[in-house]
Amino acid sequence: MEGLHRVSEYKWEIPRTAKSGMRVPGTVFADEELIALADRDRALEQVANVAFLPGIVFRSLAMPDIHWGYGFPIGGVAAFGPDGVVSPGGVGFDISCGVRLVKTALSEDDVRPGLEGLLAAMASNVPRGLGTRGRIHTDESVLRKVFAGGAKAVLDMGYGRDGDVEHAERLGSYEGADPDKVSRRAYERGADQLGTLGSGNHFLEVQVVEEVLLEGAARDFGLFEGQVTVMIHSGSRGLGHQVCTDYLQVMDRVVKKAGLELPDRQLACAGLGSREADDYLAAMACACNYAVGNRQALMHWTRRSFEQHFSSPERALGMELLFDVSHNVARFETHDVEGRRTEVCVHRKGATASFPAGHPEVPEAYRGTGQPVIIPGDMGTHSYVLVGSSEAMAESFGSTCHGAGRTMSRSRARKTIRGSELRQRLASQGIVVMAGKDSLLAEEAPEAYKDVSRVVDVCEGAGLSRKVARLRPMGVLKG
């Protein structure tokens, strides 16, 4: 990328002069290896392209797991002031894709002997795979309740227990949702998919806390070495994809009518406060609530699986929600911009909020510690729990990475990696995998991703979040 230069050990700048029309500079948090991968992937060009959007403030930002995406890079963060825009490409197709981490009181010794049986119970209870319909019938009236209420609505349906929503971003419900702004086709695609895992990089993973790295925060989060946890990674399924598709078409017409010149039509957008922007944000909030509700239902089936396998109530097994966090979202937040407290629309696409202790958006249970940040790795490597930092508020609108980030396309992974051999290799490492087709398993091979430990080290080195605990995979359930 022309003009790219290093500002500090983990921070690089793309100057406004890199491309004529940039309104702000770009900043990428990376080390030498990760910046080279981003440059090779042409994702740095996307960072520069985002800087063309009207009303962008401060900088166009990218996390160390950056890679090429639709419009915005995955790992991209940008905030827009009152005269700015909202862009569906800055949220992505899998709206509110995210993770939730469930704690248990079990140790690895409790789980390891019967691990395959536990995974089999989970596979029996959790619908998974592309286009799969779930166990919860959701006619239009039910969908409207979930669109408006999120995890709370799913809890009211009997899937979970009191207290679950207190450990989720925004208490498991995004404001501003309007079910009337969701298309008929999106309703059709969302029908009966609530409580389903999906395919691709979505998973349920039984893990063990291998090492505590920040004792005070780990204690406040209820984590200890040797503890078994379950990570749930899923999103808004076909519904969110359709919402994005619908409003990209709307935004494309807005851009053409306004004569707005953009370096990439995938950055189609509408001005904040316009009818088109308001409609998208209302539909997006519905998809967010559906995604959080989906993970709430998945946690319910996970708890039932543990109950069946251990012949014990899930409460006795200590199955408490640590946190639920979304990766793909645009939302209004208040930040310091050029010395003034300003409400901005923050787009995080493949990025996680990383708010510090005392921040009003951190759930009360963690207000004195900071927001838990949950970073999944891949099937063969570690995942991490981190905690938000005050430095992130100044550097990245309170944002950090969301995972390892791909280095290899799914099609290339299928061509170069044999799923059956991957399954055997993981088994030799003590990792049991239950998945559908071996070709789909190959898409998510560890070598298709960056080194998550390197990515997390950069985030900590740049001050965006601090490592609390490292989690090792034991068993993985995929679509």
402 is catalytic: yes
**Strand stretches in 171-202, DSSP E:** none
Per mean pLDDT, which range of 73-82, 134-143, 175-184, 323-332 is the poorest? 134-143
User: What is the token pair recorded at 422?
Assistant: 């991957």
- Whole-number mean pLDDT of the chain? 95
pLDDT tens readout for residues 383-406: 999 999 999 999 999 999 999 988
- For residue 263, is pLDDT > 90? yes
Q: How far is CA 227 from the centre of its chain?
A: 24
Any idea how long the chain is?
479
User: What is the token pair recorded at 345?
Assistant: 């629309």
Q: How many CB atoms lie within 10 A of CB 208?
A: 20
Quick one: pLDDT band at residue 131, thresholds 50, 70, 90? confident
Q: How many CB atoms lie within 10 A of CB 144?
A: 19
Closest to 79 in 3D by CA, of 399, 477, 384 = 399
Closest to 347 in 3D by CA, of 124, 107, 71 = 71
User: Three-state DSSP class for 136?
Assistant: coil
Quick one: pLDDT band at residue 160, thresholds 50, 70, 90? very high
Query: Which residue type, as a one-letter code, is found at position 92?
Result: G
What pLDDT, on the 0 to 100 scale, is given for residue 129? Answer: 75
- For residue 161, is pLDDT > 80? yes
Summarize the confidence of residues 317-334 as an average pLDDT: 98
Per mean pLDDT, which range of 277-281, 299-303, 376-380 is the poorest? 376-380
User: What is the token pair recorded at 384?
Assistant: 């991490």
Architecture (CATH level 2) of domain 5-407+449-478: Alpha-Beta Complex (3.90)
Q: Residue ranges per domain, the chain?
A: 5-407+449-478
What pLDDT, on the 0 to 100 scale, is given for residue 88? Answer: 98
DSSP string, 212-273: ES-HHHHHHHT--TTEEEEEEEE--HHHHHHHHHHHHHHHHHHHHHHT---S-GGG--EETT
Q: How far apart are CA 358 and CA 435, in angstroms?
A: 41
Quick one: pLDDT band at residue 409, thresholds 50, 70, 90? confident
- For residue 332, is pLDDT > 80? yes
Summarize the confidence of residues 239-250 as an average pLDDT: 98
Closest to 228 in 3D by CA, of 308, 317, 312, 316 = 317
Quick one: pLDDT band at residue 290, thresholds 50, 70, 90? very high
- Could you give the angle at which helices 237-258 and 275-310 cross, rounded to 10 degrees? 170
pTM as predicted: 0.96
